[in-house]
């Protein structure tokens, strides 16, 4: 029986809900990554970019200090740690869920101690030392397949050869050279050239010989008799056969996941990644991506990590990796439709927009949320009522109920008593999209934000998104749950009008709630009902 994808991925102290897809932003602290090498090489630039991705919609930041591009230059664990440790330390301090992209066990161990919640091992936890690190921590684990699939995927399908091993490439090169006088120049495409598997730690071949071998192998693929003229080749199928390829991919991923489980890593911590581009031709990658649903059926969360890869360039006809973002989003959304729930991407902002649009139509997903309302200017009760009505008018959102209004003592630097209420809503918007809509409500009701008075100045209305079902987020723009929710009497008391026991509810959600005498902004009087819609 096929299993549905799990709804939670346990990563250290975090439980990441996969009821909707999550975005993992790629942060390369390297000088030679294939599409953005050197752009965030300094810790300061990397930290700034990581925080920026959080505000753009990233749920996870994947920090790497060693490029695994074709022909990459391996770095020592010491150098890798020097690059990424300052970045991880600051992002963790900001509350981010951080993944460390490394194949070195000692680097993974150090970064988890610093607060990284996920180990993303490009070699698929093939190193026993890395398995020990995973077993000794509570970090989430991404098992990736890196390596050729064709040499292990023999098939009897007529006129298609799936062997891309080094020996086969050499034989193909020799055969092509012997037939060159009869055929002339071979038109070859290099777009499907596989990316190197880092476990092999290759170095660039002199004079492009590795690329030539790959082109020749592609040119002769599908030839039953290599002595026949190349012009007589007939490739009857657009893609290789799926079954042998997926046996190799799923067999490896399943074996590594079970090895982790035997070492003591809970199943709920394990995630799988088929490793697009790593030792695979573009045709093979298409086969693998089309089989995403089969990988989901294994019962582990599946990562889609096609961003800017050669596969994307092949299907979209784009040579420049930095220009492949739109096509990358297309492939990512296709993977989401088949059940992938983690999208590892370079363009976080664009992917978040595309995903929000796609998800809103393809997957109805109403969720519960609470918005704290506050006013200390003018007709305070009227502003609360107008805010509730405007929130009810936000697309894909409705107000379920509004608490009574309560006046609270000044807190957090606010000079005058505040009229407070809490609105319970249902929404299908993403947290950041909902926050943007709430800020527009504030603007419509005339809130003025003066420099230097952020968070404590007088306001006609304040709309704070304090809790949302299944959502945790970190960033300067939005933090969920609200970092001060458990200490705010002016939020907790109004919530009692909307549910039986908000303290128990929030505690179960992981929010630490202070005792009444230790809270801030104590309620001083009941101001009556909020007459909404206004």
Q: pLDDT digit string (tens) for 94-150?
A: 999 999 999 999 999 999 999 999 999 999 999 999 999 999 999 999 999 988 765
What pLDDT score was predicted for residue 67?
78
- How many other CB atoms are there within 10 angstroms of residue 247's CB atom? 13
CB 386 within 8 A of CB 445: yes
CA–CA dist 138, 14 (Å, integer): 10
What pLDDT score was predicted for residue 523?
96
262 within a domain of the structure (yes/no): yes
Domain stops at, among 333, 362, 391: 362
**Same domain (yes/no): 142, 159:** no
What pLDDT score was predicted for residue 41?
60
3 within a domain of the structure (yes/no): no
Nearest partner of 24 among 91, 92, 99, judged by Cα: 99
Domain stops at, among 362, 388, 423: 362
**Same domain (yes/no): 354, 389:** no
What pLDDT score was predicted for residue 449?
86
Domain stops at, among 313, 332, 362: 362
2 within a domain of the structure (yes/no): no
**Same domain (yes/no): 345, 390:** no
**Same domain (yes/no): 80, 174:** no
**Same domain (yes/no): 165, 256:** no
What pLDDT score was predicted for residue 349?
97
Domain that holds residue 220: 151-232
In this structure, what CATH number is given to the domain that contains residue 316?
A: 3.20.20.20
453 within a domain of the structure (yes/no): yes
**Same domain (yes/no): 43, 129:** yes
380 within a domain of the structure (yes/no): yes
**Same domain (yes/no): 207, 246:** no
Determine which helix (DSSP H) or strand (DSSP E) holds 403, and give its type and residue range: none
| Ramachandran quadrant class, 526 (left: phi over 0; alpha: psi -120 to 50; beta: rest) | beta
What pLDDT score was predicted for residue 184?
37
321 within a domain of the structure (yes/no): yes
What pLDDT score was predicted for residue 415?
85
CB 409 within 8 A of CB 519: no
pLDDT tens digits for range 36-91? 555 556 889 999 999 999 999 999 999 999 877 666 678 899 999 999 999 999 99
Q: What is the radius of gyration, based on Cα positions, of the chain?
A: 27
**Same domain (yes/no): 126, 53:** yes
Strands 397-402 and 22-28: unpaired
**Same domain (yes/no): 340, 451:** no
Provide the domain count of the chain: 3
User: Which residues in the chain show pLDDT less than 70?
Assistant: 1-6, 32-41, 69-72, 149-236, 534
**Same domain (yes/no): 227, 179:** yes
CA–CA dist 172, 219 (Å, integer): 9
User: Helix 380-392 crosses helix 431-444 at what angle (to 10 degrees)?
Assistant: 140
In this structure, what CATH number is given to the domain that contains residue 396?
A: 3.30.70.560
Long-range contacts of the stretch 39-43 (C-beta < 8 A, 24+): 41/83, 43/86, 43/87, 43/90
**Same domain (yes/no): 295, 417:** no
What pLDDT score was predicted for residue 188?
34
Nearest partner of 284 among 119, 436, 162, 114, judged by Cα: 162
59 within a domain of the structure (yes/no): yes
CA–CA dist 173, 307 (Å, integer): 31
292 within a domain of the structure (yes/no): yes
**Same domain (yes/no): 405, 467:** yes
């Amino acid at each position: 029986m096929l299993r549905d994808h799990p709804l939670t991925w346990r990563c250290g102290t975090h439980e990441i809900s996969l009821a909707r897809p999550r975005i993992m932003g790629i942060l390369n602290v390297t000088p030679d990554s294939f599409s953005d090498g050197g752009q965030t090489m300094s810790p300061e630039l990397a930290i700034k970019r990581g925080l920026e991705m959080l505000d753009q919609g990233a749920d996870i930041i994947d920090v790497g200090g060693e490029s695994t591009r074709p022909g990459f230059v391996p770095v020592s664990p010491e150098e890798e740690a020097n690059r990424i440790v300052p970045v991880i330390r600051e992002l963790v301090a900001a509350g981010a869920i951080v993944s460390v992209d490394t194949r070195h066990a000692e680097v993974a161990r150090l970064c988890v101690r610093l607060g990284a919640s996920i180990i993303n091992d490009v070699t698929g936890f093939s190193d026993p030392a890395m398995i020990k690190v995973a077993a000794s921590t509570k970090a989430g684990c991404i098992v990736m397949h890196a390596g050729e699939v064709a040499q292990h995927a023999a098939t009897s399908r007529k006129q298609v050869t799936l062997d891309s091993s080094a020996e086969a490439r050499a034989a193909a090169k020799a055969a092509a050279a012997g037939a060159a006088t009869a055929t002339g120049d071979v038109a070859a495409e290099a777009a499907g050239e596989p990316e190197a598997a880092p476990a092999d730690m290759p170095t660039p071949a002199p004079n492009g010989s590795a690329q030539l071998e790959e082109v020749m192998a592609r040119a002769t693929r599908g030839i039953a008799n290599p002595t026949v003229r190349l012009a007589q080749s007939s490739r009857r199928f657009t893609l290789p056969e799926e079954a042998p390829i997926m046996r190799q991919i799923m067999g490896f991923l399943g074996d590594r996941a079970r090895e982790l489980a035997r070492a003591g890593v809970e199943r709920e911590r394990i995630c799988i990644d088929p490793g697009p581009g790593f030792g695979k031709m573009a045709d093979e990658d298409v086969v693998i991506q089309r089989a995403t649903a089969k990988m989901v059926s294994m019962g582990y969360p599946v990562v889609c990590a096609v961003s800017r890869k050669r596969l994307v360039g092949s299907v979209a006809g784009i040579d420049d990796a930095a220009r492949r973002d739109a096509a990358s989003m297309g492939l990512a959304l296709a993977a989401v439709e088949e059940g992938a729930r983690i999208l590892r991407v370079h363009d976080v902002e664009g992917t978040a927009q595309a995903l929000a649009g796609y998800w809103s139509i393809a997957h109805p997903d109403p969720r519960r949320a609470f918005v704290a309302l506050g006013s200390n200017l003018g007709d305070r009760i009227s502003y609360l009522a107008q805010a509730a009505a405007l929130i009810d008018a936000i697309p894909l959102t409705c107000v379920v109920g509004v608490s009574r209004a309560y006046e609270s003592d000044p807190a957090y630097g606010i000079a005058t008593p505040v009229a407070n209420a809490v609105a319970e809503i249902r929404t299908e918007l993403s947290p950041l999209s909902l926050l943007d809509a709430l800020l527009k409500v504030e603007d419509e009701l005339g809130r003025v934000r003066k420099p230097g008075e952020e968070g404590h100045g007088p306001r006609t209305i304040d709309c704070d998104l304090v809790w949302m079902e299944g959502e945790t987020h970190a960033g300067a723009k939005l933090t969920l749950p609200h970092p001060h929710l458990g200490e705010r009497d002016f939020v907790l008391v109004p919530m009692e009008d909307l549910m039986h026991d908000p303290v128990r509810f929030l505690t179960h959600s992981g929010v630490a709630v202070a005792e009444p005498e230790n809270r801030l902004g104590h309620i001083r009087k009941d101001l009556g009902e909020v007459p909404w819609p206004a």
